[in-house]
Amino acid sequence: MALTPPTPLTPFKPDLDGDGLRVGIVQARFNESVGQTITRACVDELIQLGVDDDSIVCLTVPGALEIPQVLVRLARMGDFDVLIAAGCVIRGETYHFEVVSNESARGIARVAMNSEIPVINAVLTVENDEQADVRAANKGRDAAQAAVEMGNLMLMLDAFDDDEAAGEANLDQDEAP
């Protein structure tokens, strides 16, 4: 069955059925309690959306700057449909907040672009502990929903691309002498 891409009149409807998806989560341990809240809410929501708990792998790293390096390795393994970065960077009194926030976000985005695997950025960047506490669980749930939607979207696009390639191969065979 050939898939047809969505058109402006029939837009793609998000698929939030996580059945069959494989998810890797990399969580920074710096500001660990916030990171754990994000990860726990994320895992709970993934399971609620139908992802099998045996299909979720959670790893930890020292801080947000180390997340992209592990994401790259997970992406290269080819065992995951989607990856999630989880953690929290809280503003301090120095410029270090900007460096960590910007470079971790840049690294996470680079992994997604280079691997073609969806990578959801659930690294909070906040002014203080209170903001982190208020936002952490919602960030985890939102990350899980985005992960399932993007994982399914990429699988749909892969299937569409495979159908297109098969159609081109059939055209080539029809032209053969």
Q: How far apart are the C-alpha atoms of 63 and 56, rounded to whole Å?
A: 21
Count Cβ atoms within 10 A of the Cβ of residue 65 and give its class: 0-12 exposed, 13-18 middle, 19 or more buried.
middle
Is residue 96 among the annotated active site residues? yes
Structure tokens at 7: 């058109």
Q: How far apart are the C-alpha atoms of 165 and 17, rounded to whole Å?
A: 27
- Other CB atoms within 10 Å distance of the CB of residue 130: 9
- Other CB atoms within 10 Å distance of the CB of residue 99: 12
Q: Which of 73, 76, 96, 106 is flagged as catalytic?
A: 96
How far does the chain reach from its first CA to its final CA, in angstroms? Answer: 28
Judge whether 104 and 89 are in contact, CB under 8 Å.
yes
Annotated active-site positions, please?
A: 96
